Protein backbone atom coordinates (compact mmCIF):
# COMPACT_ATOMS: atom_id res chain seq x y z
CA UNK A 1 0.00 0.00 0.00
CA UNK A 2 1.32 3.42 -0.90
CA UNK A 3 2.07 6.15 1.55
CA UNK A 4 -0.17 9.19 1.84
CA UNK A 5 -0.21 12.48 3.69
CA UNK A 6 -3.05 14.43 5.21
CA UNK A 7 -2.65 18.17 5.36
CA UNK A 8 -5.09 19.86 7.75
CA UNK A 9 -5.85 23.56 8.04
CA UNK A 10 -8.73 25.49 9.57
CA UNK A 11 -11.01 27.26 7.08
CA UNK A 12 -13.48 28.56 9.67
CA UNK A 13 -13.94 28.41 13.38
CA UNK A 14 -16.10 25.27 13.07
CA UNK A 15 -14.69 23.49 10.00
CA UNK A 16 -11.39 21.88 9.02
CA UNK A 17 -10.24 20.61 5.64
CA UNK A 18 -8.65 17.18 5.37
CA UNK A 19 -6.87 17.12 2.01
CA UNK A 20 -5.93 14.01 0.00
CA UNK A 21 -3.72 13.59 -3.06
CA UNK A 22 -4.12 10.26 -4.86
CA UNK A 23 -0.94 8.15 -5.13
CA UNK A 24 0.03 6.25 -8.31
CA UNK A 25 -0.79 2.80 -6.91
CA UNK A 26 -4.48 3.77 -6.57
CA UNK A 27 -4.97 4.67 -10.26
CA UNK A 28 -8.38 3.55 -11.47
CA UNK A 29 -9.89 2.90 -8.03
CA UNK A 30 -13.41 4.09 -7.30
CA UNK A 31 -13.34 7.20 -5.13
CA UNK A 32 -15.45 5.61 -2.37
CA UNK A 33 -13.16 2.57 -2.25
CA UNK A 34 -10.07 4.83 -2.14
CA UNK A 35 -11.44 6.81 0.80
CA UNK A 36 -12.54 3.67 2.60
CA UNK A 37 -8.95 2.45 2.34
CA UNK A 38 -7.73 5.71 3.88
CA UNK A 39 -10.39 6.07 6.60
CA UNK A 40 -10.99 2.48 7.57
CA UNK A 41 -13.08 3.23 10.63
CA UNK A 42 -15.92 4.58 8.44
CA UNK A 43 -18.47 2.42 6.63
CA UNK A 44 -18.86 2.60 2.87
CA UNK A 45 -22.26 4.21 3.32
CA UNK A 46 -20.74 6.94 5.49
CA UNK A 47 -17.95 7.48 2.94
CA UNK A 48 -20.49 7.85 0.13
CA UNK A 49 -22.44 10.40 2.18
CA UNK A 50 -19.27 12.43 2.78
CA UNK A 51 -18.46 12.41 -0.94
CA UNK A 52 -21.94 13.69 -1.74
CA UNK A 53 -22.14 16.37 0.95
CA UNK A 54 -18.68 17.24 2.33
CA UNK A 55 -16.19 16.95 -0.51
CA UNK A 56 -14.49 19.73 -2.46
CA UNK A 57 -12.29 19.08 -5.50
CA UNK A 58 -9.80 21.35 -7.24
CA UNK A 59 -11.38 23.58 -9.85
CA UNK A 60 -14.88 22.96 -8.51
CA UNK A 61 -15.00 19.55 -10.20
CA UNK A 62 -17.89 17.39 -9.02
CA UNK A 63 -16.84 13.94 -7.86
CA UNK A 64 -19.10 10.95 -7.27
CA UNK A 65 -18.56 7.77 -5.27
CA UNK A 66 -18.09 5.92 -8.57
CA UNK A 67 -15.52 8.40 -9.96
CA UNK A 68 -12.31 6.63 -11.00
CA UNK A 69 -9.40 8.40 -9.36
CA UNK A 70 -6.09 9.15 -11.06
CA UNK A 71 -2.66 9.95 -9.58
CA UNK A 72 -2.35 13.58 -8.54
CA UNK A 73 -6.07 14.15 -8.06
CA UNK A 74 -6.44 16.44 -5.03
CA UNK A 75 -9.61 16.95 -3.03
CA UNK A 76 -10.66 17.80 0.50
CA UNK A 77 -13.24 16.55 2.96
CA UNK A 78 -14.82 19.17 5.21
CA UNK A 79 -15.17 18.16 8.85
CA UNK A 80 -16.88 19.91 11.72
CA UNK A 81 -14.19 20.98 14.12
CA UNK A 82 -14.24 19.45 17.60
CA UNK A 83 -11.92 20.04 20.54
CA UNK A 84 -8.92 17.78 20.11
CA UNK A 85 -8.24 15.20 22.82
CA UNK A 86 -5.38 16.12 25.10
CA UNK A 87 -2.12 14.42 24.16
CA UNK A 88 1.48 14.56 25.41
CA UNK A 89 3.15 17.09 23.12
CA UNK A 90 6.76 16.80 24.24
CA UNK A 91 9.25 14.22 23.02
CA UNK A 92 12.89 13.42 23.65
CA UNK A 93 15.40 13.72 20.80
CA UNK A 94 17.51 10.55 20.76
CA UNK A 95 19.64 11.40 17.70
CA UNK A 96 19.94 14.53 15.57
CA UNK A 97 22.78 15.22 13.15
CA UNK A 98 20.91 17.67 10.92
CA UNK A 99 19.84 15.01 8.44
CA UNK A 100 18.62 12.05 10.51
CA UNK A 101 16.31 12.88 13.41
CA UNK A 102 15.19 10.09 15.76
CA UNK A 103 12.86 10.83 18.65
CA UNK A 104 11.36 8.87 21.54
CA UNK A 105 7.65 9.33 20.89
CA UNK A 106 5.46 9.24 23.99
CA UNK A 107 2.43 6.98 24.12
CA UNK A 108 -0.74 8.90 23.24
CA UNK A 109 0.83 11.21 20.65
CA UNK A 110 -0.42 10.49 17.10
CA UNK A 111 2.23 10.70 14.40
CA UNK A 112 0.05 12.18 11.63
CA UNK A 113 -3.20 14.19 11.56
CA UNK A 114 -6.41 12.18 11.57
CA UNK A 115 -10.10 12.96 11.77
CA UNK A 116 -9.71 13.55 15.54
CA UNK A 117 -6.20 15.02 15.73
CA UNK A 118 -4.73 17.98 13.84
CA UNK A 119 -2.55 20.24 16.00
CA UNK A 120 -1.96 17.55 18.64
CA UNK A 121 0.25 15.34 16.45
CA UNK A 122 3.97 14.69 16.16
CA UNK A 123 4.20 16.23 12.68
CA UNK A 124 2.44 19.41 13.82
CA UNK A 125 4.63 19.75 16.92
CA UNK A 126 7.80 18.99 14.93
CA UNK A 127 6.92 21.75 12.45
CA UNK A 128 6.85 24.24 15.32
CA UNK A 129 9.92 22.84 17.06
CA UNK A 130 12.03 22.66 13.87
CA UNK A 131 10.66 25.52 11.71
CA UNK A 132 13.64 25.55 9.32
CA UNK A 133 13.48 21.83 8.52
CA UNK A 134 11.09 19.51 6.69
CA UNK A 135 10.81 16.86 9.39
CA UNK A 136 8.93 13.85 8.05
CA UNK A 137 8.64 10.41 9.72
CA UNK A 138 9.90 7.52 7.59
CA UNK A 139 7.58 4.95 9.21
CA UNK A 140 4.56 4.78 11.48
CA UNK A 141 3.89 4.09 15.12
CA UNK A 142 0.37 3.70 16.46
CA UNK A 143 -0.83 6.47 18.74
CA UNK A 144 -0.57 4.30 21.86
CA UNK A 145 2.83 2.84 20.91
CA UNK A 146 5.81 4.61 22.45
CA UNK A 147 9.43 4.66 21.34
CA UNK A 148 11.81 5.32 18.50
CA UNK A 149 10.54 7.21 15.46
CA UNK A 150 13.01 7.89 12.64
CA UNK A 151 12.57 11.02 10.52
CA UNK A 152 14.30 12.74 7.67
CA UNK A 153 15.00 16.48 7.97
CA UNK A 154 14.66 17.16 4.24
CA UNK A 155 12.62 15.47 1.47
CA UNK A 156 15.63 13.84 -0.19
CA UNK A 157 16.74 12.36 3.14
CA UNK A 158 13.26 11.09 3.98
CA UNK A 159 13.00 9.38 0.57
CA UNK A 160 16.15 7.37 1.31
CA UNK A 161 14.92 6.47 4.80
CA UNK A 162 11.53 5.31 3.53
CA UNK A 163 13.24 3.22 0.85
CA UNK A 164 15.47 1.59 3.48
CA UNK A 165 12.43 0.71 5.60
CA UNK A 166 10.54 -0.62 2.58
CA UNK A 167 13.48 -2.77 1.43
CA UNK A 168 14.13 -4.32 4.83
CA UNK A 169 17.41 -2.55 5.53
CA UNK A 170 16.21 -1.35 8.94
CA UNK A 171 16.17 -3.73 11.92
CA UNK A 172 13.42 -2.90 14.41
CA UNK A 173 13.04 -4.40 17.88
CA UNK A 174 10.03 -3.72 20.07
CA UNK A 175 9.34 -4.55 23.71
CA UNK A 176 5.91 -5.94 24.53
CA UNK A 177 4.21 -7.08 27.73
CA UNK A 178 1.92 -10.03 27.06
CA UNK A 179 -0.61 -12.03 29.03
CA UNK A 180 0.29 -15.68 29.40
CA UNK A 181 3.24 -18.05 29.70
CA UNK A 182 5.02 -18.70 26.38
CA UNK A 183 5.83 -22.38 25.82
CA UNK A 184 9.28 -21.52 24.44
CA UNK A 185 11.79 -18.76 25.06
CA UNK A 186 12.20 -18.15 21.31
CA UNK A 187 9.52 -18.61 18.68
CA UNK A 188 8.45 -17.26 15.30
CA UNK A 189 4.93 -16.48 14.14
CA UNK A 190 4.64 -16.81 10.36
CA UNK A 191 1.01 -16.03 9.60
CA UNK A 192 -0.44 -13.92 6.75
CA UNK A 193 -2.54 -10.93 7.80
CA UNK A 194 -5.51 -9.22 6.18
CA UNK A 195 -8.44 -6.93 6.88
CA UNK A 196 -11.26 -9.41 6.36
CA UNK A 197 -14.39 -7.67 7.61
CA UNK A 198 -14.85 -10.53 10.08
CA UNK A 199 -14.67 -8.23 13.08
CA UNK A 200 -16.79 -5.48 14.59
CA UNK A 201 -13.58 -3.40 14.67
CA UNK A 202 -12.96 -2.28 11.10
CA UNK A 203 -9.20 -1.78 11.52
CA UNK A 204 -8.54 -5.19 13.11
CA UNK A 205 -6.17 -7.46 11.21
CA UNK A 206 -6.83 -11.19 11.03
CA UNK A 207 -4.70 -14.20 10.25
CA UNK A 208 -6.00 -15.23 6.84
CA UNK A 209 -4.55 -17.57 4.21
CA UNK A 210 -5.32 -14.96 1.55
CA UNK A 211 -3.56 -12.20 3.46
CA UNK A 212 -0.14 -10.64 2.99
CA UNK A 213 2.91 -12.62 4.18
CA UNK A 214 3.74 -11.59 7.76
CA UNK A 215 6.49 -12.86 10.04
CA UNK A 216 7.56 -11.84 13.55
CA UNK A 217 10.32 -13.34 15.71
CA UNK A 218 9.79 -13.27 19.48
CA UNK A 219 12.19 -13.73 22.38
CA UNK A 220 11.12 -14.02 26.02
CA UNK A 221 13.32 -11.70 28.08
CA UNK A 222 11.67 -12.41 31.43
CA UNK A 223 8.59 -14.01 32.97
CA UNK A 224 6.72 -12.65 35.97
CA UNK A 225 3.35 -12.71 37.71
CA UNK A 226 0.94 -9.77 37.79
CA UNK A 227 -0.40 -8.56 41.18
CA UNK A 228 -3.64 -10.48 40.53
CA UNK A 229 -1.74 -13.72 39.91
CA UNK A 230 -1.87 -13.74 36.11
CA UNK A 231 1.31 -14.75 34.26
CA UNK A 232 2.89 -12.04 32.11
CA UNK A 233 5.96 -12.00 29.90
CA UNK A 234 8.33 -9.33 28.63
CA UNK A 235 9.14 -10.05 24.98
CA UNK A 236 11.52 -8.66 22.40
CA UNK A 237 9.61 -8.56 19.11
CA UNK A 238 11.40 -8.38 15.77
CA UNK A 239 9.03 -7.94 12.82
CA UNK A 240 10.44 -9.20 9.52
CA UNK A 241 7.60 -7.63 7.57
CA UNK A 242 5.71 -4.38 8.18
CA UNK A 243 1.98 -5.03 8.26
CA UNK A 244 -0.57 -2.98 10.17
CA UNK A 245 -0.79 -4.07 13.83
CA UNK A 246 1.49 -7.00 12.99
CA UNK A 247 3.02 -7.59 16.44
CA UNK A 248 -0.30 -7.25 18.23
CA UNK A 249 -2.12 -9.59 15.83
CA UNK A 250 0.69 -12.16 15.92
CA UNK A 251 0.79 -12.17 19.73
CA UNK A 252 -2.94 -12.83 19.83
CA UNK A 253 -2.49 -15.62 17.28
CA UNK A 254 0.19 -17.13 19.56
CA UNK A 255 -2.21 -17.06 22.52
CA UNK A 256 -0.34 -14.21 24.20
CA UNK A 257 -2.53 -11.09 23.88
CA UNK A 258 -0.77 -7.83 24.67
CA UNK A 259 -1.43 -6.20 28.03
CA UNK A 260 -3.69 -3.15 27.60
CA UNK A 261 -4.71 -3.97 24.03
CA UNK A 262 -8.29 -2.85 23.38
CA UNK A 263 -8.47 -4.50 19.94
CA UNK A 264 -6.33 -7.65 20.21
CA UNK A 265 -6.68 -8.16 23.96
CA UNK A 266 -9.29 -9.97 26.05
CA UNK A 267 -12.33 -8.61 24.16
CA UNK A 268 -12.35 -6.59 20.92
CA UNK A 269 -15.64 -4.94 21.97
CA UNK A 270 -13.68 -3.02 24.60
CA UNK A 271 -12.40 -0.87 21.73
CA UNK A 272 -15.94 0.02 20.72
CA UNK A 273 -16.79 0.98 24.28
CA UNK A 274 -13.55 2.98 24.47
CA UNK A 275 -14.42 5.00 21.34
CA UNK A 276 -17.85 5.73 22.80
CA UNK A 277 -16.29 6.61 26.20
CA UNK A 278 -18.26 3.78 27.82
CA UNK A 279 -15.48 1.55 29.16
CA UNK A 280 -16.39 -0.24 32.38
CA UNK A 281 -14.34 -0.89 35.50
CA UNK A 282 -14.27 -4.55 34.46
CA UNK A 283 -12.81 -3.54 31.07
CA UNK A 284 -10.03 -1.62 32.79
CA UNK A 285 -9.29 -4.47 35.17
CA UNK A 286 -9.04 -6.97 32.30
CA UNK A 287 -6.75 -4.68 30.30
CA UNK A 288 -4.51 -3.96 33.33
CA UNK A 289 -3.06 -0.89 31.53
CA UNK A 290 -4.79 2.11 29.93
CA UNK A 291 -2.80 1.66 26.69
CA UNK A 292 -1.36 -1.29 24.83
CA UNK A 293 2.05 -2.30 26.16
CA UNK A 294 4.20 -1.90 23.04
CA UNK A 295 7.40 0.13 22.86
CA UNK A 296 9.73 0.69 19.89
CA UNK A 297 12.95 -0.21 21.69
CA UNK A 298 15.80 -0.44 19.17
CA UNK A 299 16.59 0.70 15.64
CA UNK A 300 19.55 -0.33 13.51
CA UNK A 301 19.75 1.38 10.14
CA UNK A 302 22.17 2.76 7.56
CA UNK A 303 22.50 6.53 7.83
CA UNK A 304 20.49 8.04 4.96
CA UNK A 305 23.41 10.27 3.88
CA UNK A 306 26.69 8.64 4.96
CA UNK A 307 25.37 5.02 4.94
CA UNK A 308 27.29 4.37 8.17
CA UNK A 309 25.58 1.97 10.58
CA UNK A 310 23.46 3.70 13.26
CA UNK A 311 22.20 1.84 16.34
CA UNK A 312 19.79 3.53 18.75
CA UNK A 313 17.80 2.53 21.83
CA UNK A 314 14.99 4.01 23.96
CA UNK A 315 14.43 2.66 27.48
CA UNK A 316 11.09 1.22 28.55
CA UNK A 317 8.90 4.23 29.47
CA UNK A 318 7.67 4.93 32.98
CA UNK A 319 4.13 3.55 32.67
CA UNK A 320 5.26 0.17 31.34
CA UNK A 321 8.24 0.01 33.71
CA UNK A 322 5.94 0.70 36.70
CA UNK A 323 3.60 -2.11 35.67
CA UNK A 324 6.53 -4.49 35.23
CA UNK A 325 8.03 -3.49 38.59
CA UNK A 326 4.68 -4.17 40.27
CA UNK A 327 4.71 -7.65 38.73
CA UNK A 328 8.18 -8.20 40.16
CA UNK A 329 7.07 -7.12 43.64
CA UNK A 330 4.07 -9.44 43.44
CA UNK A 331 6.31 -12.37 42.47
CA UNK A 332 8.70 -11.70 45.36
CA UNK A 333 5.86 -11.55 47.88
CA UNK A 334 4.53 -14.85 46.58
193 and 310 in a single domain? The answer is yes
CB 51 within 8 A of CB 43: no
pLDDT digits (tens, 9 = 90+) for 63-91: 999 999 999 899 998 877 667 788 899 99
Q: Tell me the β-bridge partners of 10.
A: 16
86 belongs to a structural domain: no
Say if residues 311 and 299 touch (Cβ distance below 8 Å). yes
The 10s digit of each residue's pLDDT in 177-191 is 999 999 999 999 999
CB neighbour list of residue 100: distance below 8 Å, 6 or more residues apart: 150, 151, 152, 153, 157, 161, 303, 304, 305, 310
Which residue among 47, 80, 113 closes a domain?
80
Same domain, 254 and 138: yes
What pairing do the DSSP bridges indicate for beta strands 294-302 and 146-152? Answer: parallel
Active site residues: 142
> Which of 173, 164, 82 shows the shortest CA–CA distance to 120?
82
pLDDT band with cut points at 50, 70 and 90 for residue 305: very high
Mean per-residue pLDDT for 304-312? 98
- Asked whether residue 226 falls in the same domain as residue 329, the answer is yes
Structural domain total, the chain: 2
Last residue of a domain, one of 80, 114, 132: 80
Does pLDDT of 6 surpass 50?
Answer: no
Residue 202 has pLDDT above 80, yes or no: no
For residue 39, the enclosing domain spans: 7-80
Q: Report d(CA 326, CA 319) in Å as an integer.
A: 11
Q: Are residues 73 and 196 in the same domain?
A: no
One domain for residues 46 and 131:
no
Given 80, 109, 127, the domain boundary residue is 80
Are both 320 and 218 inside the same structural domain? yes
Amino acid sequence: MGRFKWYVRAVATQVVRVTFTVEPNYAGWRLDRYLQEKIRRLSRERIQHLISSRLEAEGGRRLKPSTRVQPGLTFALLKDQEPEPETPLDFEVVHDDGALLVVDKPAGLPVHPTARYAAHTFTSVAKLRFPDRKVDPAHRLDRETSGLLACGSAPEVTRVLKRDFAHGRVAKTYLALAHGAPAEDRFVVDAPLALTGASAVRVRMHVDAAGLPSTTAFEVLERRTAPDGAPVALLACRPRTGRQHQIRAHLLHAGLPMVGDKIYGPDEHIFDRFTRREMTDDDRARLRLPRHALHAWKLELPHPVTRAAVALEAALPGDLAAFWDACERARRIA
